[in-house]
Amino acid sequence: MRMIRSGLLMLLLGLLPAHAQTAAPVSGGPVDPAKLQDLVLANRVLTDLNVIDGFGHVSMRHPTDPNRYLMGRSVAPALVVADDIMEYDLDSNPVDARGRNSFLERFIHGEIYKARPDVMAIVHTHSPGVIPFSVSSVPLRPVFHLGAFLSPSVPVFEIRNPAGQSNMLVSNPALGQSLASVLGDRNVALMRGHGSVVVAATIPMAVFRAHYSNVNAQLQMQAMSLGGPVTFMDPEESQKTLGVIDQIHGRAWDLWKRAALEKMPK
């Protein structure tokens, strides 16, 4: 129904003079405050976990309109409050900016939501564990059970392929599409000399995967530094372990969320 309404809107826009076509997209409708709160908390949890710092972002697909997504304005994630959450269409146009600035790299989110209907939450990080793998010929691989979602492989997005010598940012739809295409149907892609993008069907799972990508990377570096051969998770083991992670990841989210809530200004 939203898609029909959206189609009608596009039709109507087609009848308007060109300058009016730049009108902001309509909203996907109000969002359950508890869900907005989870998005706010995800920003803070990821900061507490050192997965993001002054940079990096997390978004969620609009709960009732698959053609919209929600993400904080351009501010350090640790400072995000509910009023900072902006709504975008999948071309990453803001619905109602109200003077709030958007992230230059919001196209990471919009284009992945377009390409991956299963994805409901996305994290973009510069997390310290994964960056070394983004610039190395050594691939990031699942080394322990909580990193099983890194199977079957973690591709590296080389922005030189679509953009040549660039400013390194995924700052337009074409680059977002290119990144989404490298990601394919996987859960995590590294971005060379930049960071990672992590996707999931829920916010808690996206946060879980962003954190344990970083942990797994550090464990893999240390295991390799010992000098002997390393036993990685087998693809079949990883596949079976995904069910376990589905079942248990809420335990970590509950812990992280509570800690973040306690630190929020009342």
d(CA 223, CA 141): 12
Set 105, 158, 236, 262: catalytic member: 105
Q: How far apart are CA 68 and CA 176, in angstroms?
A: 16
d(CA 71, CA 106): 9
Q: Which is nearer to its own copies, 36 or 221 (CB)?
A: 221
Q: Which is nearer to its own copies, 88 or 212 (CB)?
A: 212
Between 31 and 86, CB nearer to its own copies: 86
Q: What is the b/e burial string over 167-184, where b = at least 16 CB atoms within 10 angstroms of the residue's CB? A: eebbbbeebbbbbbebbe
Q: Please say which residue, 119 or 140, places its beta carbon nearer to its own copies.
A: 140
Reduced to 3 states (helix: H, G, I; strand: E, B; else coil), residue 256 is helix
CA proximity to 38, closest of 256, 245, 266, 265: 256
Cα separation, 251 vs 266, in Å, equals 25
- Residue 76 Cβ vs its own copies, minimum distance, rounded to whole Å: 4
Q: Are strands 156-157 and 188-191 parallel, antiparallel or unpaired?
A: parallel
Least separation in angstroms between CB 70 and its own copies: 19
Closest approach, Cβ 120 to its own copies, in A, equals: 21
At its nearest, how many Å lie between its own copies and the CB of residue 65?
Answer: 28
3-state secondary structure of 250: helix
The CA distance from 264 to 243, in Å, is 33
Cα-Cα-Cα-Cα dihedral of 132, 134, 137, 140, to 10°?
80
- Quote the least distance from Cβ 40 to its own copies, whole Å: 15
Interface residues with its own copies (CB under 8 A)? 53-55, 74-76, 78-79, 104, 126, 128, 131-138, 143-146, 148, 160, 165-169, 192-195, 215, 218-219, 221-234, 236-237, 240-241, 243-244, 247-248, 251-256, 258
- Closest separation between CB of residue 173 and its own copies, Å? 18
Q: Give whole-number Cα distances, 218 to 39, 53, 215, in Å.
A: 26, 18, 5
Shorter beta-carbon distance to its own copies: residue 10 or 224: 224
Active site residue 236: no
Of the pair 6, 213, the CB lying nearest its own copies is at 213
Please choose, from the candidates 25, 31, 10, 28, the residue with its C-alpha nearest in 3D space to the C-alpha of residue 93: 25
Active-site residue list = 105
